[in-house]
Structure 1
Amino acid sequence: MGSTKPLWTREQVAAQIVAGKTLVIYNKLLLSIPQAWLDAHPGGSLAILHFVGRDATDEIDAYHSDIALQRLLKYYVVGTVETTEHGWEPFVPPTMIGWTRKAGRDGKLEWFREANTAHSTVPSEVLLVGTGDSTLAQTRGPTMSDLILPPTELSLKVQSQHSAAYKRLHKRIIDAGLYQTRYATGYGPEIARYTLLAIVSAVAYTHNWLITSAVCLGLLWHQLVFTVHDLGHMGVTHNWTVDRLIAIILADFIGGLSVGWWVDNHNVHHLVTNHPSHDPDIEHLPFLAISTAFFNSLWSSYHKRIMTFNRFTAFIVSLQHKLFYVLLGFGRFNLYALAYGFLFRKAFDHKRAKGGRWSWWLEIIGLLFFWTWFGAVLIGCGSWSKALTYLLVSHVVTTPLHVQIVLSHFSMSTEDLGPMESFPHRQLRTTTDVICPPALAFLHGGLHLQVTHHLFPRLPRHNLLQASVFVKEFAKEQGLTYAEFGFVGGNKQVLDVLKGVADQARIMSMVTESEIRGAMEKKGQ
């Protein structure tokens, strides 16, 4: 297929990217992604934009089924590319240096500078800060020199070796049949657990045992999230429509959350894990900061806003290690805000694909259904104080879920090593497993094996343990670290990171206070 297509030089690829084309490399083939598909991509546009000018073979293989790959190659291949002995030398994607494309006054897409690059102590690291100047919209776009990689200590040869070994690992996992879902032995016990929790919650409620009912309902939500996670990754039936339909029933109708938001957010997290400017899962100002990089009021390419670090933020962050579990206790309320904000924005998005339209409407119906039945549950408690207690208990019970999520990443590296870094190298560097006895694995939903999940996101989670044996062998062979902590040790690691950043925030606050006091004294003289 590729032999009949023209050969593109690096200069030609760069020139077309600067001209506004969305070009991605896959197995030495050049893919040109049209704007229509960029807008309608089920994984969100940023999942593609972060790989413009880069070899995304490993990421594409990890996230797409064979059917999706066939469609991709059928419609979007425009040629092949010149490569070095060690593969394609990547460019820096425009979105990673603050450039995006928006409709101008005439309705045509034009380059818009949404953020500027910030200086870092790590040469390869590119962080973003807000421009605060909308006049840059039509002045110019990125230049070819902007796409050149900054200095990096990484070797293209070594990273390509990691990539080649990852491909062999992926084939090994496929050959072992680990993409086959274990419906009876995997989801059978899960469904029994969900049913038991729902029945106990309902029975307890009818007997006015409200705390027991609230605890069981919270545990049900906690457990359902794991299956919604699988469905969002197409890891259950492996059919997008079927998995999305089931996910909406579980997430929206029963849990009151949006699976559409979660997929959009979570895919970006997987692809740019622990990047301060791009990973929404570590962007929690003004409440939490896991890196002093956030002291620079960074721009979030996902949330499209400046994460302002001011005196108030510095004060809160200086206490974050003490408030950590309290904040996570209210984590579900934050999920409501993020999910509903996403659906509200999508209401005005007329570029959604056909599947996106029906799923959006079904999610809205699901959320109305949720607040109808859950509202009736709260009203039926008999008094506002009992209703408030039921609300808080059912939501705080889900706290271990939020702890689990942060344990896998908060203690790991947040440095950006640049587009040269291979997919497996980044995932092993930024992700850790949580060690737990097999009998307690259900409490983590099987997702304590985060390293393997990040390398193979579509893999059914009941097969992660077996796959992790292969991954550990791969890591040892490639000289990469496979990080894993016990639950208690993992919590300590996270708290140490939070305290380290909190101490720096406290020092910054003291310096700021001193400077203000000195300025006021000088003014009063």
Structure 2
Amino acid sequence: MMFEEKPEGNGSLVDENQLDLGAKHQANRKPAASGRAKLPARQEANAKCGLPRKSISMYTWQEIQRHNQETDQWLVINRKVYDVTGWADRHPGGRLVLNHCAGEDATDVFRAMHPDPDIVQLYLKPLLIGELAPKEPNQERNKNSQLVEDFQELRRTLETLNMFNANLGFFFLHLAQVLILEALAWVIVWHFGSGWLITILISFLLTVAQAQGLFLQHDMGHLSIFKKSKWNRLMQVFVIGHLKGFSAKWWNNRHFQHHVKTNIYPKDPDVDVGPFFVVGDLQPVKYGKNKVKHINYEKQHLYFCTVGAALFVPVYLNLDSIRAMYCRRSWEHFFPQDIAWVSSFYIRYFITFGPFYGIFGTLVLIYLVKLLESPWVAYVTQMSHIPMKISIEEKQDWFSSQVLATCNVEQSFFNDWFTGHLNLQIEHHLFPTMPRHNYHKVAPLVKSLCAKHGLPYVNKPILKAFGDIIRALKKSAALWMDAYYSHPET
């Protein structure tokens, strides 16, 4: 079934300063399957918008759900159907994010993950292939349509209340905290020398700076603080690359998967942590039945406390970031910008602390700080997810999937500072682009919507949240043991 759609506007959908979102990835793009080279995104948009009329097809959910493969990806956003197959490799959030949502209604996911959806209309318009047939519901039939409507109404209310507007002063004070702590560490070494007691003191100061820098890095990966997109990107790569020494692209691609499919195994990289640990109810049974025993998972909770948490940042995250930057497939996307910014992190340390510790001593200082930072970050990031529901893909509505996979930790001045407001994970996962200083304002409304639809709104003390990580790992270990010793080898 077809209908005619008249184009809107003149094809110039965004400001000139916003046009380079995907333009960097155009230069070395491979030809299309037909042998004709693809046009840059802006030219594609302008060419299609310049057509006098465009035919659009009508589709049913049954037809759309068949297009959920890596080589055939359709999405539905606000009842419009998009074929994103050819765009996936150019997607700034990573191709896997689109692949994870293929064949689904992605309206709430799309709105949650894009600070300014008007910008991405430039890229959506050429991908439009049709609409849902008039008799089709807005979402798949297995979803709670009333809950979806209530959540969308809640979001509109929060937008009206300006809850998505960032307070520049808040984030600059946070950045100032990090810079002052690092400067203070250098002044202490310069004035008092590099003795053991001084080294311990500055390691503590640098650890606090690095942990708080990671929380700021988390903000920069989600928010549009400045009106000009180029300043947002510059701020992000400065914080993630220069202050933290991680690849910004790597962080975005990994972290956005976590947000889009929170606690969905194996789509969420934060819970697909084999062979180091088995988490949830499904992965332990799978490993046990297949006789997988890379470590003694029976004692994994002890490994987490003694080794895993300490190596989380300096080994696991650090090596994964380096691997991503130098991976051949990602070379075009990560080089040279990410490598340059990450290199600047190490250069800064060698310039400031090299004269006192030498090259080797400075490297030891860097990894000592990362080692001290790591348990802090590991416990804060895992306390709201590992103890919660971890499942395979169930294609739930956005609100339910995020509420069931996350929990909050009680709010206080210390908890807010110590966790970088990651104690309010429910609100953060429902509204990733909301600045963290507004989470506590929207929490009562979210809690009310949970009560209306019978969903748990979990809020716990911080020490209980830390303990629940260990209890969850012990529970998963018991499931692994039962499957490992009770099932014959296959």
Tell me the TM-score normalised to structure 1 length.
0.74
Among 38, 62, 68, the residue aligned to 2:119: 68
Deviations 1:270-307 (A, max 9, x none): 11111121110012223222224224667xxxxxxxxx
Give the unaligned 5+ runs of structure 2: 6-55
Separation in 1, partners of 2:62, 2:458:
39
1: CA distance, partners of 2:377 / 2:443: 21
Aligned equivalents of 1:188 and 1:17: distance in 2? 42
Q: Supply the distance in 1 between the matched residues of 2:480 and 2:338 (Cα, whole angstroms).
A: 40
CA distance in 1, matches of 2:411, 2:66: 51
Structure 1 residue 416: Cα displacement: 3.1
- 1:54-453 to 2 correspondence within 5 Å? 54-64=104-114, 65-82=116-133, 86-89=137-140, 155-156=142-143, 159-184=144-169, 186-206=170-190, 207=192, 208=194, 209-237=198-226, 239-295=228-284, 310-313=292-295, 315=296, 317-326=297-306, 327-333=308-314, 334-345=316-327, 347-349=328-330, 356=333, 360-375=335-350, 377=353, 380-381=356-357, 388=364, 391-416=367-392, 418-419=394-395, 421-453=396-428
Instruction: Flag the 1:84–1:490 CA change in 2: closer, same or farther, 3 A.
Output: farther
Change (3 A) 1:30 1:367: same
**Aligned partners of 2:322, 2:359: CA distance in 1, in Å?**
27
8 Å CA contact 1:433–1:485 kept in 2: the answer is yes
CA change 1:43–1:448 in 2 (3 A) is same
| Secondary structure of the corresponding residue to residue 50 of structure 1 | helix
Structure 1 counterpart of 2:95: 45
What one-letter code is carried by the residue in structure 1 that aligns with 2:243? I
Contact 1:230 1:236 in 2 (8 A): no
Q: Structure 2 counterpart of 1:318, which letter?
A: E
- Give the deviation of 1:85 after TM superposition: 6.3
Say whether the 8 Å CA contact 2:240–2:247 is kept in structure 1: yes
CA root-mean-square deviation: 2.9
Matched, 1:489 2:464: yes
Q: Quick one: distance in 2 between partners of 1:175 and 1:471?
A: 16
Query: Contact 1:83–1:89 (CA<8 Å) still a contact in 2?
Result: no
Q: Percent identity among equivalent residues?
A: 21
Deviation at 1:182, TM superposition (A): 0.6
Larger mean Cα displacement after TM superposition, 425-434 or 253-262: 253-262
Aligned residue in 2 for 1:471: 446
Tell me, in whole angstroms, the C-alpha distance in 1 between the residues paired with 2:371 and 2:339. Answer: 21
CA–CA distance in structure 1, aligned partners of residues 251 and 67 of structure 2: 32
- Measure, in 2, the Cα distance between the counterparts of 1:465 and 1:82: 40
Task: Indicate the residue corresponding to 1:115 in structure 2.
Answer: none
Q: Secondary structure at the match of 1:474?
A: helix
2:23 aligns with none
Instruction: Output the CA distance in 1 between the equivalents of 2:166 and 2:66.
Output: 44
Q: 1: distance between equivalents of 2:405 and 2:65?
A: 29
The SS at the match of 2:82 is strand
SS at match of 2:101: coil
